[in-house]
Amino acid sequence: MFSWLGKQGGGRERGGASSDVVQTVTGGLRDLYLRKLLPLEEHYRFHDFHSPALEEADFENKPMVLLVGQYSTGKTTFIRFFLSLVTAGQRCPDKFDRDSFQRCFLMRFIKISDSVEEVTSTIMCLSLHPLSPFSHPYFRFMCSQLPNQVLKSISIIDSPGILSGEKQRISRGYDFCQVLQWFAERVDRIILLFDAHKLDISDEFSEAIKSFRGQDDKIRVVLNKADQVDTQQLMRVYGALMWSLGKVINTPEVLRVYIGSFWSHPLRNTENRRLFEAEAQDLFKDIQSLPQKAAVRKLNDLIKRARLAKVHAYIISYLKKEMPSVFGKENKKKELISRLPEIYIQLQREYHISAGDFPEVKKMQELLETCDFTKFHSLKPKLIEAVDNMLANKIASLMSLIRQEESNMPTEMVHGGAFDGTMAGPFGQGYGEGAKEGADEDEWVVAKDKPAYDEIFYTLSPINGKISGINAKKEMVTSKLPNSVLGKIWKLADCDGDGMLDEEEFALAKHLIKIKLDGYELPGTLPSHLVPPSHRKPFQTAE
């Protein structure tokens, strides 16, 4: 494998029992692969057809994020935004050679003066031989070593921008889609970036997306530069994007699309600011969860690889069995290659295999053209049984260890950069909005609208300063909110639980209705700053 991280994987950052569990899972996966799966792969030349053999770094590296998109969609700016690179001491190169992959990662915190030694030790960890078939003067990798908190938990890979037209695909000199596929099998998240002004999916971009077949669960879509269009245009752009993606990505689930403007400059159009903030927060949460889900991702990838290796063994052994011993070998080979779709169906029925586990027919036919079928091996049941045992029994024990880690250890999250800017303080998502409005003010936030609410209150025939539930309902239903929502508002507003509302409780109910009508969510329990002044001491005592 391309071992950029070597032994500096994200799991090493943790200590104590959590680190022990991670190392047990990592070691278990590596041991299962070497003892159970690798012999099957080598016996049936799996690595010549699908993917190079896994190496130690495949099991030990920290979560990786791959960015893919056409030119000028803002990939490098997206990285700078997430890492919050705004100082001279934290510079991420803005431009790279058109056919180079950028790798941003950090093995540990370093000082600027130590960067040379750190990069030297990093280069010594590199293992490029699995990608040697793509070797070309224009196929290069560039490393950016940054002392950044975010990169302690994840690594970022920036791919070359994709242009439209046949000329670019030919001029690369290497199979761009094959390189993307190699990365896709090893990363934890694939982010496809689109520009709100340029939604066309070029032929090469379409092929690049198709190369992620089987990795659909890793794909997320970002519609960038969405602040450059108004709301009406944005709705059209979003619809057009979903229609275009539906023609390229063949999956029953709808892809998650994050809409926003991912850079540090002022928004050009602020009418969708709340939407952009909510979408950015969702994307932050998705990326922040990667360290916690890394072990599960590696486990799932090993399972997918094992299933493909089994299918490959059945295909190769079948072709071997059908070959004549003496005459007509070349003609039989051509016949078998042309009949490969029928062979797939036959193997599906014979071994009860899902059609989704089989490799792409066209690609397999192309690879078989150069092979000598007489050198293939016959089916070896013991190798198949070893993999079946691994999938049925060994994997389950590792899954229990992962669940143990998730239940007993604190959640591991990505910190630093743009992630810290959205967690706390007045610029955190939802701060000072909805039910959180007035949280840092001394005056009761409902008081500013209370005179208007009082006028309504005294038209509802209060008795001894309170209105009954029946009278309150007559006013509350005019909001046209569902009864389930109004019932929750009543429960929050009736602070003393007497089944009636005084003027402060009624004002609170109207305030909560306004919050819901403005598009905000209601709190699960009433925040202390919303408790009516006359109810605060009894309410807090009851708590």
Write out the H or E segment, with its range, that includes residue 209: helix 203-210
Q: Locate tokens 């009418």: which residue?
A: 271
Q: Comparing 90 with 322, which gets the higher pLDDT?
A: 322
Q: pTM of the prediction?
A: 0.70
Write out the H or E segment, with its range, that includes residue 211: none
Q: What integer is the mean pLDDT of 388-401?
A: 86
The structure tokens listed for 141 are 């990798």
Q: Using the 8-state DSSP alphabet, how is residue 158 labeled?
A: E
Residue 473: Cβ within 10 Å count? 14
Q: Which residues pair with 224 in a beta bridge?
A: 195
Q: What integer is the mean pLDDT of 152-160?
A: 84
Q: What integer is the mean pLDDT of 239-258?
A: 86
Check whether 371 has a pLDDT greater than 90.
yes
Q: Encode burial over 61-99: b for 16+ CB neighbours within 10 A, e otherwise.
A: bbbbbbbbbbeebbbbbbbbbbbbbeeeeeebeeebeeb
Q: What integer is the mean pLDDT of 215-243?
A: 92
Lowest mean pLDDT among 216-225, 397-406, 448-457: 397-406
Average pLDDT over the chain reads: 80
Q: What integer is the mean pLDDT of 246-260?
A: 85
* Cα→Cα distances 310→182, 337, 388, Å: 20, 19, 9
Quick one: pLDDT at residue 406?
62
Check whether 258 has a pLDDT greater than 80.
yes
Check whether 331 has a pLDDT greater than 90.
yes
Quick one: how far is CA 82 from the chain centroid?
14
Quick one: pLDDT at residue 85?
61
Write out the H or E segment, with its range, that includes residue 195: strand 189-195
227 and 276 Cβ atoms separated by less than 8 Å = yes
Sign of CA dihedral 298, 304, 308, 313: positive
Q: Comparing 3 with 303, which gets the higher pLDDT?
A: 303
Amino acid (1-letter code) at residue 188: D
Quick one: pLDDT at residue 125?
37
Interatomic CA distance for residues 243 and 236, integer angstroms: 11
479 and 513 Cβ atoms separated by less than 8 Å = yes
226 and 260 Cβ atoms separated by less than 8 Å = yes
Q: What integer is the mean pLDDT of 17-36?
A: 74
Interatomic CA distance for residues 421 and 425, integer angstroms: 8
Residues present in the chain in total: 543
Contacts of 81 (CB under 8 A, 6+ apart): 262, 263, 264, 418
Exposed, middle or buried: residue 517 (CB in 10 Å: 0-12, 13-18, 19+)? exposed
Lowest mean pLDDT among 188-202, 408-422, 423-437: 408-422
Check whether 422 has a pLDDT greater than 90.
no
Residue 197: which pLDDT band, with cuts at 50, 70 and 90? confident
Q: Locate tokens 């066209």: which residue?
A: 362
- pLDDT tens digits along 61-78: 888 899 999 888 888 888
Q: Which residues pair with 67 in a beta bridge?
A: 158, 191
Domains (range + CATH), the chain: 29-54+296-408 (1.10.268.20), 64-289 (3.40.50.300), 445-535 (1.10.238.10)
